[in-house]
Structure 1
């Protein structure tokens, strides 16, 4: 089985520097320019199904892939980003002001923290893991998962055992593409492609 994990392109929430998960921000102009680049980058793969978070920033990417391949997309709430609760859609600086040294725990995914008014990090990991386990129990094939930063980190943790420290080595920027090959109990990361900086390079040509 092959999984192609895609983080949505730059969103207005990214551009504002806000802490957000369920806030349904659209993509910026730069984010929209990343979409055809993403579609082109995965053209060489024979895709069986396209799954996506229903949040618009991920859904738009999935719809573009589905249109290109004439494949209906499947939306699944389990691929939504974490809900940050009372910290949702706050500027990062404001969250730091409120929580101080606990900021990294609040915005992390592996510290067993309950976010007031939002999700417990363990519940977030459980729903993502349940989706992946269900997918792995099904038919072999190549599957696209269009989602979010936290969702991709959760999948890499679940399938490859990468913890908080190990995941720091990966720059999973908006528009990142990660391809995994799964063969029995072995998981291999074949590619990590960034499209975030490609937009700037193209605009300079």
Structure 2
């Protein structure tokens, strides 16, 4: 089985370098062009099923990839949502340090288990991503497209590497990046990581 993880195209929030996961924003023009470029790779691949988060940016990305192939099911799975940064959403790091100095200190000291006000921890995001990966093992499909977010893709790579969250920051993941993970003989492995640009 081939599992193609694709990070959604660029949004205006990406250009501002702000933290956002739960903010529901559209692709910008560059993001649309990134995904049109990514779609060329999938042109000759028969995608059996598409999984997306419940954010507009992943639905828009998936729609560009599959085009007019209306027979491909798109399944919304909120386990694929980006980390919810709670009250940190929409703010850059400099703003956060000014507004939440104590919280930022705790975040630096223990980034895995720190919870922003009204948000979630990275461990919680990793746990739901792991649950998705556990379930996908049972799929009978040959080619699955998963359109999601940077944090979820990094978490999936950690899962494949049996590294929990320890390797989370060792992977780059820009908008439009594609990661191919294969599942064969009851084993996940990373086949390729491809940058969009």
Whether these two folds match at TM > 0.5 is: yes
Cα deviation digits, residues 18-71 of structure 1 (max 9, x gap): 111100121221111112111112224332111111211111111122335431
- Structure 2 counterpart of 1:25: 25
- Structure 2 counterpart of 1:39: 39
RMSD after superposition? 2.1
CA deviation after TM superposition for structure 1 residue 140, in Å: 4.2
- Structure 2 counterpart of 1:12: 12
SS at match of 2:67: helix
- State the TM-score, normalized to the length of structure 2: 0.87
- Structure 1 counterpart of 2:195: 194
CA deviation after TM superposition for structure 1 residue 163, in Å: 5.5
SS at match of 2:181: strand
SS at match of 1:115: coil
SS at match of 2:180: strand
Would the aligned equivalents of 1:79 and 1:147 in 2 still touch at CA under 8 Å?
yes
Q: Unpaired runs of 5+ in structure 2?
A: none
Give me the whole-angstrom Cα distance separating, in 1, the residues matched to 2:117 and 2:62. Answer: 31
CA deviation after TM superposition for structure 1 residue 170, in Å: 2.6
- Structure 2 counterpart of 1:78: 79
Would the aligned equivalents of 1:66 and 1:72 in 2 still touch at CA under 8 Å?
no
Give me the whole-angstrom Cα distance separating, in 1, the residues matched to 2:85 and 2:142. Answer: 33
Give me the whole-angstrom Cα distance separating, in 2, the residues matched to 1:39 and 1:104. Answer: 37
Q: Unpaired runs of 5+ in structure 1?
A: 198-205
- State the TM-score, normalized to the length of structure 1: 0.84
CA deviation after TM superposition for structure 1 residue 114, in Å: 2.2
Give me the whole-angstrom Cα distance separating, in 2, the residues matched to 1:105 and 1:22. Answer: 24
Q: As a proportion of its length, which structure holds more helix?
A: 1
Give me the whole-angstrom Cα distance separating, in 2, the residues matched to 1:137 and 1:189. Answer: 18
Cα deviation digits, residues 124-183 of structure 1 (max 9, x gap): 222222122111123242110000011101111112224656344432111100101111
Give me the whole-angstrom Cα distance separating, in 1, the residues matched to 2:67 and 2:144. Answer: 15
Between the two proteins, the alignment pairs up a number of residues equal to 193
- After TM superposition, the structure 1 stretch with the greater mean CA deviation from structure 2, 166-175 or 71-80, is 166-175
CA deviation after TM superposition for structure 1 residue 101, in Å: 4.3
How do residues 115-130 of structure 1 correspond to structure 2 at under 5 angstroms?
115-130=116-131
How do residues 1-205 of structure 1 correspond to structure 2 at under 5 angstroms?
1-70=1-70, 71-97=72-98, 98-99=100-101, 100-104=104-108, 111-162=112-163, 166-195=167-196, 197=197
> Using a 3 Å threshold, how does the CA distance of structure 1 residues 73 and 105 change in structure 2: closer, same or farther?
farther
